[in-house]
Chains A and B, each alone.
Chain A
Amino acid sequence: MLAPEVFDQRDEDGVVVLLDPEPGEALRATVREAADMCPSGAISVSAISDSATSAGTASTGAPSTGAPSASEGK
């Protein structure tokens, strides 16, 4: 898993869950890489506009609409 501080997998079905919706600056590159690698495009990352030092907000799509699952290589 690319960013275990930010993402985990649900035990029952391996669907990726978001642990930290606002990861800090130190994780910026890793979280961006996770979004880039996400095979279903369910991760989006956006900068928090009024803070130049924040890595931004990560979010995953609702599990029912194709959030990445166990196998999908975070």
Chain B
Amino acid sequence: VTTDNAVTDSTATNSTVTDSATLPEYPMRRAAGCPFDPPPALADLQRDTPLTRVRLWDGSTPWLVTRHADQRTLLRDPRISSDNLRPGYPNAAKIAADQRSKVGFILMDDPEHARLRRMVTARFAIKRVEAMRPSVQKIVDDLIDRLLAGPRPVDLVEAFALPVPSLVICTLLGVPYADHEFFQTSSSTMIRLSLPPAERQAAARRLSEYLDDLVGDKLDRPGDDLLSELAGHVRAGELTREDAAQIGVLLLIAGHETTANMIALGTVALLEHPEQLARLRDTDDPALVASAVEELLRYLNITHNGRRRAVLEDIEFGGEVIRAGEGIIFPNDIANRDESVFTDPGRLDIGRGGRNHVAFGFGVHQCLGQPLARMELQVVYGTLYRRIPTLRLATSTDQLTFKHDGAVYGVYELPVTW
């Protein structure tokens, strides 16, 4: 087995050296003036081929799967791994040599991934999430009251898009919202890929220490929240305190960054498509609001650097063999614009409605929080534009700073008025 691997490795390296310079670089650039669309070069790749090699920042040349059906097939394949310390894993940026960090369970494989994940799934079950809807509605209504009473223009990111999911995830986890400036700043530093690795790691360390302290508090004084449940698992010897803190970091970041960017970027997209905004604003039909959420998830793809995996065993695919020890990237943004699945995929149509997009990923790592994200976005999109029907940008779309360098895409600020 060892010999076979060695042969495979050297073969892969040789072909890599030959082709590497001509391979397309990934991630690619979006076109100027098209902030909602995947990069044109990625669309070209999808049209031309289901599977290709690309070149990453470190010179590695993982595979990239371009099409929706193929992504779903392979993301369900047990021969791929999410462990970013495995050979061939296509990391998005340099990781520290001493990095043990398995931010929660997203970079783990089953069975350990499933064991840890199942400790937190109950709180994100559909019925539990639906029970939170009235309290989320109140959060949204109160923040809009404050917007309407406050100065104009205002940064919608700061005043609304970030507070909504931050308040919700704080309540669910048992994190004091009073600390929001600290955790929002630390988390946005962590996922801003253009910052120096040392700065990002320092932010990650601060958040880990913060969550570790909170888990310590919950060990002493448990409440009715998820961190207290994790502390319970620590007390029962089923979970290390370090893992409990890391799961807390994961859920805190994932719980506010993603939804906040969907709120702000979704608002930009709707303002750019006034006929779609009018349909959403004028409807009383919760099904149309839910459909709008799915369509904006499909259309916007705020996770825009692809799902990444290492290959554990050779996989025959489309006439090629993807070798053990190689990497694969699954860009969900281009899969969600696959015209064999979505008619006229570049068009935003809030009535489209299907839930077969891969904005939440696919496979065993598919987004844990998706019922919560859906519910929050349904409340937000179903409320904000009705309550502020004349909402508009206080600048122009081309003046906005988009998060091209973010692990999560969106806008850094969104000045609006009404």
Question: Known contacts being A72-B366, A73-B370, is A13 close to B356, with CB within 8 Å?
Answer: no
Would you call B76 and A14 a contact (CB within 8 A)? no
Measured between alpha carbons, how far is A8 from B25 in the docked complex, in Å? 44
B360 in the interface (beta carbon within 8 A): yes
Stretch at the interface among B123-131, B158-166, B259-267, B381-389: B123-131
Would you call A11 and B122 a contact (CB within 8 A)? yes
A35 to chain B, nearest CB (A): 12
Would you call B126 and A9 a contact (CB within 8 A)? yes
Query: B residues within 8 A CB of A50?
Result: none
Question: Known contacts being A37-B355, A40-B76, A66-B114, is A73 close to B366, with CB within 8 Å?
Answer: yes
Query: B residues within 8 A CB of A21?
Result: none
Query: A residues within 8 A CB of B75?
Result: 39
B221 in the interface (beta carbon within 8 A): no
Would you call A11 and B364 a contact (CB within 8 A)? no
A44 in the interface (beta carbon within 8 A): no
What's the interface size class on A, roughly?
A: 20 to 34
Question: Known contacts being A39-B76, A39-B366, A40-B364, is A71 close to B124, with CB within 8 Å?
Answer: yes
Would you call A71 and B367 a contact (CB within 8 A)? yes
Would you call B356 and A36 a contact (CB within 8 A)? yes
Residue of B nearest to A33 (CB): B356
Question: Known contacts being A40-B363, A66-B364, is A13 close to B118, with CB within 8 Å?
Answer: yes
Measured between alpha carbons, how far is A2 from B126 in the docked complex, in Å? 11
B21 to chain A, nearest CB (A): 37
Query: B residues within 8 A CB of A11?
Result: 122, 125, 127
Residue of B nearest to A36 (CB): B356
Question: Known contacts being A37-B356, A39-B366, A41-B76, is A69 close to B126, with CB within 8 Å?
Answer: no
Would you call B122 and A70 a contact (CB within 8 A)? yes
For window 362-382 of chain B, which residues contact chain A by CB distance below 8 Å?
A: 362-364, 366-371
Would you call B121 and A71 a contact (CB within 8 A)? yes
Measured between alpha carbons, how far is A1 from B127 in the docked complex, in Å? 9
Residue of B nearest to A67 (CB): B114
A45 to chain B, nearest CB (A): 16
Query: B residues within 8 A CB of A72?
Result: 366, 370
Measured between alpha carbons, how far is A11 from B279 in the docked complex, in Å? 37
Query: A residues within 8 A CB of B124?
Result: 14, 70-71
Would you call B118 and A69 a contact (CB within 8 A)? yes
Measured between alpha carbons, how far is A18 from B128 in the docked complex, in Å? 19
Residue of A nearest to B110 (CB): A66
For window 223-269 of chain B, which residues contact chain A by CB distance below 8 Å?
A: none
Most buried by A among B76, B125, B367: B125
B7 to chain A, nearest CB (A): 32
B117 in the interface (beta carbon within 8 A): yes
| 4 tightest A-B CB contacts, nearest first | A14-B121, A71-B368, A70-B125, A14-B125
Contact surface of A with B, Cβ cutoff 8 Å: 1-2, 9, 11-15, 36-37, 39-41, 66, 69-74
